[in-house]
Amino acid sequence: MSRSVRTRLLPAIIAFALCLPFAQAQNVELPDMGSSAGSLLSPEEESRYGARMLYELRRVDMVLEDALLDDYIHALGYRLVALSERPEQEFTFFVVRSDEINAFAAPGGYVGINVGLMHTAESESEVAAVLAHEVAHVTQRHLVRAYESMQKATLPIALAMLGAILASRNTSGDGTEAAVIGGMGLLQQQAINFTRHNEYEADRIGIFTLAKAGFDPEAMAGFFARMGRATRSNSSVEVPEFLRTHPVTASRITEAKNRVEAIRRNPPAVTESAANEARFRLMRERAHVLTSSEPAKLVDTYRRELRNADAAHVASLRYGLALALLRSGQAKAALGELDVLLKDAPNDLAFQIPRAEAQRLAGDAAGALAQLEALADVAPDHRAVQLAYADALNATGQKANGQRAMAVLRPIVAKYGADPTTQATFARACELAGEDARALEAHAEVALYTGRPYDAMEQLKRLLERPGVDYYQRARVEARVEELKPYMAELERQRIRREDQDS
Ligand SMILES: [Zn+2]
């Protein structure tokens, strides 16, 4: 398929998004399936479709790539998955760069949570409540069931969902809008038809998972009620997306409360601790600062909030302040705030990693490197630490340090090969070390995981034509090309289908 076809499709995606509010799209959550009508998705297909959605989101820079936050949301999600109806199901949790209060699930256990939702939540249990709800959509196979009923619709569903997210950033439409409007009625109706039953089931099962995992089961009702009040009390306030997809009705809150009563009679072991809550607050501010377009403004906000903060919030607000200072180029001031935080928690890597970065930016690159080397020694499996250390090594521009960074990252690449940040850092290390062929391989992986599969394939094939590729690398790259062929064939099939639909 030519490049022009791909570019021609983009306006259609955006136009489609404009006339399809996320309210409907969220519950559709399904890609355009290439298989024949009536056949169920295999777990492999489900996971391929979900992965593709994640890669596409990365392509438009909607995924917050941060190893510390990734680890946090993964651990939080898996506390729920372990006690869900299908603990063996694989899940991928990720943080989405969007201020909308929303979360969503896609086939294959891909669950995205928006920064906006994290930022609005007042406790870890509230975030967990939403995650438990999304996990239940996956474990109850709502997506697969929805797929069966959606097969009659001929529109590219996955792109509808993705496009709706895109629309929140891109408001330019064009003439193709009219072409897709025809299918809208059908799509909306179908989405709404399976929504209510599935939503209640996700609530019901989610709340039990939440309680079993030791979170506050009232968080779900509380969060919904609070969002509902905020919406009603001020009609000019835009309705949060999660409410549009999950309308808060009195009965929904009552049911959630009744279920809590039932759980209360047989209380599970509550493992929620003050430490978890403190960690949540730190990560909430981290997500907020890392996605802010105006970190300098946040500096003022945090300073003001710190003056009146109660004891429980001082550390997280100071952490937000430190990161906002760091992001707005005030490294020395950031260093000061991080040192205050480290007095109470000298071993906290969430403080130590940005401290080393602040140290480097403040002019002490050698000190920062030594600090990160010490951290890397004590935390050999910690992705965020190893990435920060490798970054600092790469920043020296020295060949020997590139070789060192390669060695440091090899076990991380083996474990987190599907993480584009890890692959990109490894690629830079390879270049510095003079291992150009190995760098190209890593660049191809970056392309694949950031939604550029054609580039990835091209790069791998070009690599095979290069002289000086050793036997082992050649075998590895040839195997990778073979591995990707079914995926590429699937993309081709779907492009052809979409081209037919557009014309
Ligand atoms: Zn739902």
Beta bridge partners of 110: 92, 106
Q: Report the distance separating Cα 99 and Cα 288, nearest Å.
A: 9
Q: Report the distance separating Cα 254 and Cα 293, nearest Å.
A: 39
Q: Report the distance separating Cα 67 and Cα 93, nearest Å.
A: 12
**pLDDT, position 250:** 61
Q: What angle do CA 267, 268, 270 make, to 5 degrees?
A: 110
Q: Measured in angstroms, how far is the CA atom of residue 203 from the centroid of ligand 1?
A: 8
Q: Measured in angstroms, how far is the CA atom of residue 140 from the centroid of ligand 1?
A: 12
**pLDDT, position 264:** 64
Among candidate residues 112, 117, 123, 128, the one with its CA nearest the CA of residue 77: 128
pLDDT in tens, 164-219: 444 443 333 332 232 233 233 333 433 434 467 788 888 889 888 988 888 888 88
* Cβ count within 10 A of residue 59: 15
Beta strand pairing call for 110-114 and 92-96: parallel
**pLDDT, position 149:** 58
Sign of CA dihedral 446, 449, 455, 456: positive
Burial of 145 (0-12, 13-18, 19+ CB in 10 A): middle
Q: Measured in angstroms, how far is the CA atom of residue 214 from the centroid of ligand 1?
A: 21
Contact between 150 and 190 under an 8 Å Cβ cutoff? The reply is: yes
Which ranges of 82-156 would DSSP assign to H, the alpha helix? 115-120, 124-139, 142-150
Q: Measured in angstroms, how far is the CA atom of residue 496 from the centroid of ligand 1?
A: 32
Q: Report the distance separating Cα 429 and Cα 403, nearest Å.
A: 7
Q: Measured in angstroms, how far is the CA atom of residue 199 from the centroid of ligand 1?
A: 5
pLDDT tens string, the chain, 503 residues long: the values are 333 333 333 333 332 322 222 333 333 334 444 443 444 667 887 788 788 889 888 988 899 999 999 999 999 999 999 999 899 999 999 999 988 788 888 888 999 999 988 998 999 999 999 999 999 988 988 776 666 555 544 334 444 444 444 444 333 333 223 223 323 333 343 343 446 778 888 888 988 898 888 888 888 778 877 776 665 554 444 445 555 555 555 666 677 667 767 766 665 555 557 889 999 999 999 999 999 999 999 999 999 999 999 999 999 999 999 999 999 999 999 999 999 999 999 999 999 999 999 999 999 999 999 999 999 999 999 999 999 999 999 999 999 999 999 999 999 999 999 999 999 999 999 999 999 999 999 999 999 999 899 999 999 999 999 988 999 999 999 999 999 998 888 778 766 555 555 44
Contact between 194 and 143 under an 8 Å Cβ cutoff? The reply is: no
Among candidate residues 204, 81, 290, 101, the one with its CA nearest the CA of residue 93: 81
Sheet arrangement for strand 110-114: 92-96, 110-114, 103-106
Burial of 312 (0-12, 13-18, 19+ CB in 10 A): exposed
Compute CA distances 8 → 156, 175, 213, whole Å.
Answer: 15, 12, 47
**pLDDT, position 27:** 37
Q: Measured in angstroms, how far is the CA atom of residue 298 from the centroid of ligand 1?
A: 32
Question: For 445-482, b where at least 16 C-beta lie within 10 A, e where not — what string?
Answer: bbbbbbbbbeebbebbeebeeeeebeeebeeebeebbe
Widest pairwise Cα distance in the chain: 71
Q: Measured in angstroms, how far is the CA atom of residue 413 from the centroid of ligand 1?
A: 34
Q: Measured in angstroms, how far is the CA atom of residue 139 from the centroid of ligand 1?
A: 12
Q: Name the packing angle between helices 43-59 and 157-167 (round to 10°).
A: 30
Q: Report the distance separating Cα 464 and Cα 475, nearest Å.
A: 10
Q: Measured in angstroms, how far is the CA atom of residue 245 from the centroid of ligand 1?
A: 7
**pLDDT, position 211:** 86
Q: Measured in angstroms, how far is the CA atom of residue 196 from the centroid of ligand 1?
A: 9
Q: Report the distance separating Cα 237 and Cα 229, nearest Å.
A: 11
Q: Report the distance separating Cα 350 and Cα 46, nearest Å.
A: 34
Q: Which long-range contacts (CB under 8 A, 24 or more apart) does 459-465 make?
A: 460/484, 463/437
Report pTM.
0.81
The two tokens of residue 232 are 């009603």
**pLDDT, position 231:** 57
Q: Report the distance separating Cα 315 and Cα 219, nearest Å.
A: 23
Q: Measured in angstroms, how far is the CA atom of residue 133 from the centroid of ligand 1?
A: 6
Q: Measured in angstroms, how far is the CA atom of residue 26 from the centroid of ligand 1?
A: 8
Q: Measured in angstroms, how far is the CA atom of residue 97 from the centroid of ligand 1?
A: 20
Q: Measured in angstroms, how far is the CA atom of residue 76 from the centroid of ligand 1?
A: 19
**pLDDT, position 332:** 97
Among candidate residues 302, 342, 305, 309, the one with its CA nearest the CA of residue 323: 302
Q: Report the distance separating Cα 128 and Cα 111, nearest Å.
A: 12
Q: Three-state SS for 387?
A: helix
The amino acid that residue 494 corresponds to is Q
